[in-house]
Amino acid sequence: MRFSIGALFALAAFGGLAAATPAMAADELEFTLTNATSVSATEFYVSPVNVDDWEDNLLEGKYLPAGNEVTVTIGDGRRTCTYDLKTVFEDGRTAENDGINLCELGKYTVHE
């Protein structure tokens, strides 16, 4: 399974980027992830709605500072748009949302 968040630290230093248009290639889904909370996100998980366990941590040892956004690519080979999402913050709190259609939205914003 392949997930990536490109240039996370550069984007955080630059202050974010313009909202991306949703893109669904043959085996990839791209969307904008925005952290609209007051704390950094240290983990971000996505799992297709029909999967019972959380899959890979998309932040992979990096973090998404409060008030910043980044483009996320899900390259898991699945042809689905609907995912369950989980964010873990540096203070230990979590936020979960189920059944989010990322193709339709093209972006996902984490709120407190």
Are 20 and 94 in contact by the 8 Å Cβ rule? The answer is no
> What is the reported pTM?
0.76
CA distances from 83 to 28, 46, 92 (A): 13, 6, 22
Q: What's the pLDDT tens digit per position in 43-95? A: 999 999 999 999 989 998 899 999 999 999 998 888 899 999 999 999 999 99
Q: 24 vs 39, which has greater pLDDT?
A: 39
Which residue in 72, 64, 87, 62 sits closest to 15, CA to CA?
64
The full set of domains in the chain, from first to last, is 2-110 (2.60.40)
Q: Calculate the CA 45 to chain-centre distance.
A: 7
